Structure 1
């Protein structure tokens, strides 16, 4: 049981301006300002993973959280100004464990893993900070100002990814926030509202709200927004057909497709798929990839080679994909990946897996996009 009777007092120096203010608004003449809370959180009554302390600014959220959980609340970490963020995680963690944790909280951008903390966006810093807190504190983690520094669309996507990670790792997180829009996405086991002094356990709840995407066919120039986040190469084949997924009219993910000529069995191949870091963790990249695959499946076979661990895991479990080659290294380089003047980085020497799309086709949508 987390119980707290808390009083906060501060002196009032009764200057002429203060006395004028008292007269203007009929305030009593006091020498001290006092706030008090009586809090009762029955957190020992049930097992739980995620809690939310939520309410407007000034209602006492931070004061209560810091008083109840002084050793668990996460303040800002020390970050190196030069070293990559992966070097800030505990020394006992292996690189696969670090990158797996970063991916699981929705920050799945290998090029950005190499950068120092201070150059990351607010959304990226938010997720990295949480990943490090989960890595360093095996028990309860309390995060103040949860999602306060990020765009609200990004906040909802991030909350969903973080909640999945906390539950999968069987850890405990208390988010302290003034934003009610994250409730359905964070899906907490309990909510406490200091402004109402109201605590509620939440019963069995559905999964996160559905994500609505608008998918459009775009010019190759759209790649410029995504190229720096691709884990292999920033180039784009000049014949690529490109698609963009918009979440609430914000660019979220990109997929490009190229034709693979073959005398007996021509096919289409996924060339690039990237989801922006702010929107990772809710399945947008995989949803766009599979939607585009269903368009081209109307014409020929559709294949994809990927080395991204999260995408390999997803496709290995999905009924929409068949694994043609298990994760392994490729010893030879495909001819169409060569350039007359320079050699473009490929999957040679890296661990990759090959997949073929076997899900349903969307013929009407393919016609609407002018593909058939």
Structure 2
């Protein structure tokens, strides 16, 4: 089900943990589309398609649903009073009931012009609530924000891991822009700048990126620019952590609970950005 949710743009992990009744209208719209994708009916008619959501969410959700639905080989009829989603759905045919005109052929989706700017942490509060972890800022990190038509849509932070390698995290794509390829384009753009030495160190560095998101991990595996380097299903060794805590307390002359951290299920996958492997 997480794959279906991600495929229609509802890749915001905190949203997965909330009951359906407390979701926003946009989140409910995408959750309903995910259910249709996962059930894979041979034929379906969806009334009032995208009518109750913000128009940006409508266009992104329409495109994400269309892309996923076409993989099912099923047939769908979408009924809507809005014309702005037609190019994003890229339908096989369109019947305009206002004019009676029937049009055939798949329309081309409008281009998305993404601009990437180097920033500080001043933009992070705008994105923070959509990140699945509550963590302090990365030490000595350089932040980047992606904008579409002047609207902030994506955030990431990059810091050095060694003298010759960097690590990226705090990737957030705003919910209304998920499912249209903005996140991966943004991630690739930032990592490519670092690989080419366009960073404050003026040094070419490959970038590591770790994620627990199944949809993003699957997308990175399909891209030739990325190479998977690790896959862990569980957290750190709990027994080792327990011994370390006990040792620290013993040195301080204190006693504490005989427990540790780790051993829990946490499927983290690691990737390295390789860029265009055909380049010399």
User: What interval of TM-score do these two structures reach, taking the shorter chain for normalisation?
Assistant: 0.7 to 0.9
The residue aligned with 1:174 is 77
The residue aligned with 1:269 is 167
The residue aligned with 1:313 is 218
* Structure 2 stretches lacking a partner, 5+ long: 198-202, 239-260
1:231 aligns with 2:231: no
Q: Is the 8 A contact 1:227 1:234 kept in 2?
A: no
Give the Å deviation of 1:273.
0.7
Give the Å deviation of 1:250.
2.1
Q: Is the 8 A contact 1:331 1:349 kept in 2?
A: no
1:141 aligns with 2:44: yes
- Residues 119-138 of structure 1 correspond to what in structure 2 (within 5 A)? 119-135=22-38, 138=41
* Structure 1 stretches lacking a partner, 5+ long: 1-97, 334-344, 362-372
Inter-partner Cα distance in structure 2 for 1:111 and 1:165: 22
Pick from 59, 77, 89: which aligns with 1:186? 89
Determine helix, strand or coil for the equivalent of 2:84: helix
Determine helix, strand or coil for the equivalent of 1:350: strand
The residue aligned with 2:120 is 219
Determine helix, strand or coil for the equivalent of 1:246: strand
Give the Å deviation of 1:115.
1.1
1:351 aligns with 2:254: no
Inter-partner Cα distance in structure 2 for 1:346 and 1:223: 28
1:127-186 Cα deviation digits (max 9, x unpaired): 112223444572333222222233323222111101011111222322211221211110
1:276-312 Cα deviation digits (max 9, x unpaired): 1211111111111111101111222211111211121
Distance 1:346 1:318, change over 3 A: farther
Distance 1:185 1:234, change over 3 A: farther
The residue aligned with 1:255 is 156
Give the Å deviation of 1:321.
1.2
Inter-partner Cα distance in structure 1 for 2:84 and 2:70: 20
Tell me which stretches of 4 or more aligned residues in structure 1 moved more than 6 Å.
345-348
1:302 aligns with 2:218: no
Inter-partner Cα distance in structure 1 for 2:150 and 2:137: 24
Inter-partner Cα distance in structure 2 for 1:236 and 1:111: 20
Give the Å deviation of 1:352.
1.8
Q: Is the 8 A contact 2:166 2:206 kept in 1?
A: yes
Pick from 263, 282, 285: which aligns with 2:180? 282
Q: TM-score under structure 1 normalisation?
A: 0.61
Give the Å deviation of 1:206.
6.2
Inter-partner Cα distance in structure 2 for 1:109 and 1:246: 19
Q: Is the 8 A contact 1:228 1:234 kept in 2?
A: no
Inter-partner Cα distance in structure 2 for 1:355 and 1:323: 4
Q: Is the 8 A contact 2:93 2:104 kept in 1?
A: yes
Inter-partner Cα distance in structure 1 for 2:21 and 2:100: 38
Determine helix, strand or coil for the equivalent of 2:140: coil
Rg comparison, structure with higher value: 1
Give the Å deviation of 1:248.
2.5
- Residues 27-38 of structure 1 correspond to what in structure 2 (within 5 A)? none
Distance 1:132 1:230, change over 3 A: same
Distance 1:214 1:141, change over 3 A: same
Count of paired positions: 248
RMSD between aligned residues: 2.6
